[in-house]
Amino acid sequence: MIDYEFKTKPFKHQLDFFKKYRYKDIVALNADMGVGKSKMAIDMLSFRYLEGHIDRVIIIAPNGVHAQWLDEQFPEHCPCKYEGLVYTSKRTNKELKKQDRFFLGARYNNKLHVLTINIQSFARDKGLELVNRFFRTATMGCAVVVDEASTIKTPDIKTTKNIKKIRDSYPQSIRLTMTGTPAAKGPVNLWSIYDFLKEDYMGCSYIAFKMRHTVTMRQKRKVKGRLMEVNEPISRDIFDKVKKWIGLQTGEIDCYKVEHAKNLYGLSTSNFWEIYNSKEYQKYKNIDSLLKHIEPDTFMISKADCLELPPKIKIVEKFPLNPEQKRLIGDLKDYAVAVYQGEELTVEIKALLGLRVLQICGGFFSHNTDIEGQYEVIPISAKTTN
């Protein structure tokens, strides 16, 4: 093993992650915002490059976030030499030449090359074309990082399907997903994320997985005009009513009372006993067994557990508005008074007006086009005084 030198000193939890997962080929980094997930990923990928395992990295992230990887994170944390490209869908000559130079350089040198792509590119086939073009230049191996991996939680959308095709086309690639702690938001979100890491990771279909971990009941619903029985989550209302009914019963609850409750609330026998044995309302079940199953490939930590992190410092910067911004806000005020005077403003209208103010403060304003109901955002020509 090489003697890896960190470019920035890791905190204890970051070092723990590095020691445990640096040699793993599939990793789910499920941690709260602010604990340094990007640094952990970069140290892992840099180590694998220096070990001679990979020389091509693709980072898939939401639009804007994908640029931050190469604008901020890699320059700060990557200890080895690399070349990077932030993919943009702009078809200008400047951008096309930049892309051609990057791919040509990737073909003829063995540096670590990093390509960041916004996840929206995979809503069409362009994202896959870029991946194939880039990975064909690899001489060692490839790695794929999906940042904000909750965006691929739905298995049936084209974006998720296209990203999973990378797994199928490059089965030897290192795969890393990064997100918050999705189990707390609902375990069904985990199926597609882990299916990207490894096909059939959960050992069942998405539908079976939802049934395994969601507390459901059979309900009669109209589906396309036909009355059908469907599985739906047990609502808190039904749970509370059954719990109240159970509390009102005296003596042992026999089979006749159970049948009465089942018919009264539309429950199955298993539904009834699930509620009967529950101390409190639960939407999900079998969470412990799920966490045990994913534990070998998962690093999960909350910000509260990272005791060595320094306290967050909030800095308020005040920038005076320039004359053009003051004029536009004055115009917006006059417009709002003229249009909404005497009316009680709805939440939607307040939000819209607030967004307009934020746009102006940020150096832009919305301008009416000739098409009804459409606007274009135009930069304010004058600069702020600071």
3-state secondary structure 187-238: HHHHHHHHHHHCCCCCCCCHHHHHHHHECEEEEEEEECCEEEEEEEECCHHH
Q: What is the CB neighbour count within 10 angstroms for residue 280?
A: 6
Residue 340 DSSP SS3: helix
Residue 302 DSSP SS3: coil
Q: Is the pLDDT of residue 40 over 60?
A: yes
CA distance 38 to 75: 12
| Cβ-proximal residues to 338 (8 Å cutoff; 6+ apart), any chain | none
How confident is the model at residue 197, as a pLDDT?
Answer: 96
pLDDT tens string 18-39: 999 999 999 999 988 888 999 9
Residue 382 DSSP SS3: coil
Placement of tokens 């939407």 in the chain: 283
State CA 324 to chain mean position distance: 38
CA distance 246 to 366: 59
Residue 127 DSSP SS3: helix
In this prediction, residues 134-149 reach a mean pLDDT of 93
CA distance 210 to 214: 6
CA distance 14 to 180: 15
CA distance 126 to 138: 20
CA distance 4 to 385: 47
Q: Is the pLDDT of residue 342 over 70?
A: no
How confident is the model at residue 239, as a pLDDT?
Answer: 85
In this prediction, residues 200-212 reach a mean pLDDT of 91
Q: Are 209 and 188 in contact (CB under 8 A)?
A: yes
pLDDT tens string 214-234: 877 666 566 677 767 666 777
pLDDT tens string 286-318: 888 999 999 999 999 888 888 777 766 677 777
DSSP state of 112: E
In this prediction, residues 198-204 reach a mean pLDDT of 94
CA distance 261 to 89: 59
> For the domain 12-207+286-305, what is the CATH code?
3.40.50.10810
Q: Are 213 and 187 in contact (CB under 8 A)?
A: yes
Q: Are 198 and 191 in contact (CB under 8 A)?
A: no
DSSP line for 349-362:
HHHHHHHHHHHHHT
How confident is the model at residue 262, as a pLDDT?
Answer: 83
Q: Is the pLDDT of residue 372 over 50?
A: no
CA distance 312 to 293: 34
